[in-house]
Structures are given as structure tokens and as C-alpha cells.
Structure 1
Amino acid sequence: MSQALPAELLAKEPFEIRPLQPTIGAEIHGVDLRQPLSPEQRDALRQAVLRYKVVFFRDQQLDNDSHAAFAANFAPLYTHPSTTRDPKVAPIHRIAAIDAAKYEKRIHRDVLPGDAYHSDTSWRLVPTWGAVLRAVTLPETGGDTIWVDANLAYEGLSSELKERLDQLHVTHDFREALHDAGHDYPIVAHPVVRTHRETGQKILWVNFTQRPQILGVELSESKAILDEILRQYKRPEFQVRFSWRPGSVAFWDNRAAVHYAVKNYGDFPRHLERVLIADEPLYADL
């Protein structure tokens, strides 16, 4: 099992790292994401993502091809079912306000405002390793994204609740959205507390946009547990908040953080583009 490098070693890497919070979030300067990465740059960026869970870049001029080419430095890309499967087109997934509004009315109709903390593709047996998200069309103000250090969220729990959660699984149900895209997939249950394969950290891992339910307990207890997990996610000391600007890019470890898009920009057609990075197939996927 590899370990993330400590901050004092990261400081010696071939770009500048400016931490935004002690354990989550850092801005990286001195690298042009349009250009091919050297092996040293690639490895250093991967270690930075492991260390800080999410890293940010400013003033990048990516298009679809260079966006996908950057993400492909780290592992094969994953094509989300809602994106095109044309092999000639980069697997770009549009994250647009107009689409989000439709999801909120139908797919996410049970999610209360402010509760949509989630990770990407957690409905799969093997969720994606990471994601690279870039700004395309932004409102003048608003539209930030929040990432949560899911290890800190776990560590902030009481010893009694940690012990309880270590034995439990939670459902991730994305079937309705998949059916809309012409696909099917069973309801998957993941451990509520996952151990990160590379850092060894324990991760509190629930997707509040996918109808979570704790298995093996009464519904009332499931709700009480989920309410406590959501309170942990909402604690500011476990978060980093990123304000988008033209040319901004975020790159995060999907296994170590959950995130939340702040919708405070009215009807503006906010639009970002995302590329997902596949994880290693640890066992047969469906």
C-alpha cells in the first residue's frame, strides 16, 4: 500500500502547492495542463491529490481533448452512461444547471436543499478513482463547490458510533437516472466506512443523492445515523470551498472526499465539464 507524501516533500516537487485547508484542498501553480506531463509531474500531482483530496488550478485553457488527455495521465477514463459513447469524442460529462434542475425535480426530488453531498458513480461496484472538472460558463458570483474531507468526518465521530458504523453498509440507488439513459444496474451497498486503499485512511462514505438506507437496522435508526453523517459533512472545519473563475480546474480523489455544488445563482445557465477517471477493477464488475 502506497502512502501520500507529507507536505514537506511535496514542497520540493516541480510546481508550487498552496494548501487551502490543513487536510483538504490546495491550489497548484506552475503547470500548464495543456502540455504533456513528465513522469515526475504526473507522480507528484497524484501524490498531491492523495495528500489534499482535491487540488485546484487557475488560468488553464483546456478544451475537450486536452481536458481528457490530462485526466488520462492517471488511469483509463470512465465514460458515464449519460455521456456519448462515440469513441471519436472525448468522454466529457456536462454538469449544467439546466440538467441539474431536471434532476432535482425528478431524480433528486427527495433530497432536501443543502443535503446533496455525494461522490461520483458510487452506484457502481467499483466507483471511479477520481474526476477532473473545468469551468465553461459561470455566473458573475456564486456557484461555488464544497469538498468534504471524509476521513476527518469519520474521525470526528464518537468512538461508540465509529464502532457501530464499521459494521454497517449503505445503499446507493441510481436506477431511475440510469433507466432514463437506457441502462440498468442493481442497487449496490457499500460499507458506510471504507478504508482508502492507498492512504489507509477510514472514509465516511454516503451518497445523499442516491436514496441511502443503512442495511440491517430499523428505518428509524437508519435515519438517525444518516442525519449524524450529514451533520459531519456540513461541518465547516471538514470542508474546503472553491470559487470558480474562468480557466479554473478541480482534480479530486473520488474515494476520499464528497462534494456539494452550491446553487445560489438563480437561473443562470452555469456549465462545467467533467472527465471521470476509472479505478482498478478489484473484482468482476457488472
Structure 2
Amino acid sequence: MPAENVVAITESLRVTTLEPTLGAEISGIDLSKPLSPVQRDEVHALLLKHKVIFFRDQHINSAQQIAFAAQFGELYVHPTTQQEDTAKPQAHLILASQAKEAYGDARKGRWHTDTSWMLKPTYGAVLRAVSLPQLGGDTVWADAGLVYRGLSEELKARIDNLFVTHNFKSSLDKVGYDYPIIAHPLVRTHPETGEDALFINFSMSPQFIGWSVEESRELVAELLREFSNPEYQVRFKWTPGTVAFWDNRALLHYPVYNYGDFDRVMERVLIADTDIPHRVRRT
């Protein structure tokens, strides 16, 4: 392991970077126990820096996962996802069988950010591996800030003032959850880091305000090609006991379904945000 890829934060906490702008593995911490104020601040800083961080060999249960996530903000109970324990509604099961049905074979729809249909989308997600296939089932994250910076100046000028809708209404209607379709800036300024990044959910039929359906489809396809560029990504191989923590404001993620009929099971806890997505104009 190259020495420059390992940074000692404290005597007990070590960080192994995975890609230049995103992804790091954190060791020397026990997620089954409450974090000290110093540890909490360090983990938060690492999340902002690396955008998605991973903790291996953390064989925690739902209650411990909820307790870990709650140290970073108010938790959000998702209205459409299944819960293994109704007494712990903050923890949502992510089942391969249901996810495959939702996405179908349209690979373009797998690049997404959680709860983008909300006025205040959740900022953080903590995902725990529950049941993994022997091979396959990776998750890929793409750096939405790096994707934006890689666009041509001409394209940036075209999209700088665009608003995009993310349509989750059909799924919400099935559970009787009444919520309107709203629009967010396509280019969002991260409220903590100040970084500009694309804010789009390819799984929710994105449509640009003031543009025709055909124009929207063409731009969606163009942006999808950018997110599919491996230079902007980190691909993570899950192992039993792994926990991932990512910043929905900074990236998109993509579940890889290459493991046949095995019913891969993950458990997710979402952290609410007080911020409404916006773009700060700079002079």
C-alpha cells in the first residue's frame, strides 16, 4: 500500500484514500459504540473531503446503525421502503428483488441520489451490508462536482440557470403519500464546502423546466454519458460487516446487478437536511 495513501488522523483513526477526489476507507473506529466529539468531527470532515467513506469489519445491528447515523443529524423515515423492524422505522431495507423491479433493465436509471424528489432532500446515507452474493453486487459512486467541472464552458453556460424535476409520484401514490413534483437547480452549490455540482436523479425521469421533452431527453443523455465516465468514479466491493456513509449533495451512486437471482439485502438509514438545494451566484 503506497504510504501517501494512508493518513493517520489520530493514534487510532487511519484513512486510506481510494480515488483522488472521492472514496476512503476508515479504520481504527468502532461504530457499535458512541463516537467521541472529536471522532464525530473527524468523521464529518472526512465525509466532506472524500464524499463517500467506508468502514469494514463493523458487524453492527440495526439499532447501532441508527445510533451511528443519528450522531450526524435528524433521521428521515422513507415512506416507500420496507422495514425489517417496524419498531425501528429509520432503518430501510434495500432489497435486490424490489430494486431490480423499480429500475428494470434501464441501466441509465440506476444513477441516482436519494430522495431528490423532496423539497429538502436527505443529505447523508448510511448503508450496511446484510446479505451479500459471493461475487458481484458492487456499488459505484460518481463525483458530481468533478463531473460538472469537466463539462465544456459552453455546456455550463447552457445549464447554469436550469431547474430540473424528479418525478417519484407514481411510487408515492402507491402508498398514499401525497407530495407534489418540485424542481431543484440542476447545478447546486454544496452548503458546507461551497463546491458546485450537478444535482440530477436519472431514475426519476428528469425534466428541465422550460424545455421540451425532446430537449430534456437529449441533455439527460449527454449528462448521463458524463457520469458514466470512469475517471469520475469509485467502485466499491462489499464484504460482510461493511458500512458506507456518503454525502448525497456531492455525488450520485449506481448499484451493480450482476449476481443473478441472489436476493442481496442492504439496510439504509437516511439523515435529513435543513438546506433547500440552491445555487449561490458568484460575482
Residue of 219, 229, 234 corresponding to 2:223 = 229
| Structure 1 residue 104 displacement after superposition | 3.2
Residue 51 of structure 1 pairs with residue 49 of structure 2: yes
Q: Which residue of 2 aligns with 1:67?
A: 65
Alpha carbons of 1:93 and 1:59: their partners in 2 closer, same or farther (altered >3 Å)? same
Name the stretch that deviates more: 92-101 or 240-249.
92-101
Q: Which residue of 2 aligns with 1:3?
A: none
Residue 170 of structure 1 pairs with residue 164 of structure 2: yes
| Structure 1 residue 82 displacement after superposition | 2.2
SS in structure 1 of the partner of residue 45 of structure 2:
helix
Residue 261 of structure 1 pairs with residue 255 of structure 2: yes
Alpha carbons of 1:274 and 1:158: their partners in 2 closer, same or farther (altered >3 Å)? same
Residue 103 of structure 1 pairs with residue 102 of structure 2: yes
Residue of 141, 145, 148 corresponding to 2:139 = 145
1:37 and 1:43 map into 2 onto residues whose CA distance is 9
What is the aligned-residue identity percentage?
Answer: 52
Q: How does 1:75-224 map to 2 (within 5 A)?
A: 75-83=73-81, 88-105=87-104, 112-224=106-218
Name the stretch that deviates more: 86-95 or 259-268.
86-95
Deviations 1:126-173 (A, max 9, x none): 000100001000000000000010000000100011111111011111
2:103 and 2:158 map into 1 onto residues whose CA distance is 32
| Structure 1 residue 101 displacement after superposition | 3.0
Q: Give 1:128's aligned amino acid.
A: T
| Structure 1 residue 114 displacement after superposition | 4.6
CA RMSD of aligned residues (A): 2.0
Gaps of 5+ in 2: 278-283
| Structure 1 residue 281 displacement after superposition | 5.2
Query: Does structure 2 conserve the Cα–Cα contact (< 8 Å) formed by 1:193 and 1:203?
Result: yes
Gaps of 5+ in 1: 1-6, 106-110
| Structure 1 residue 11 displacement after superposition | 4.2
Residue 239 of structure 1 pairs with residue 233 of structure 2: yes
**TM-score, normalised relative to structure 1:** 0.90
SS in structure 1 of the partner of residue 202 of structure 2:
coil
Deviations 1:204-263 (A, max 9, x none): 111011111111123332122111110111000100000011001100001111000000
Residue 273 of structure 1 pairs with residue 267 of structure 2: yes
SS in structure 2 of the partner of residue 140 of structure 1:
coil
| Structure 1 residue 176 displacement after superposition | 0.6
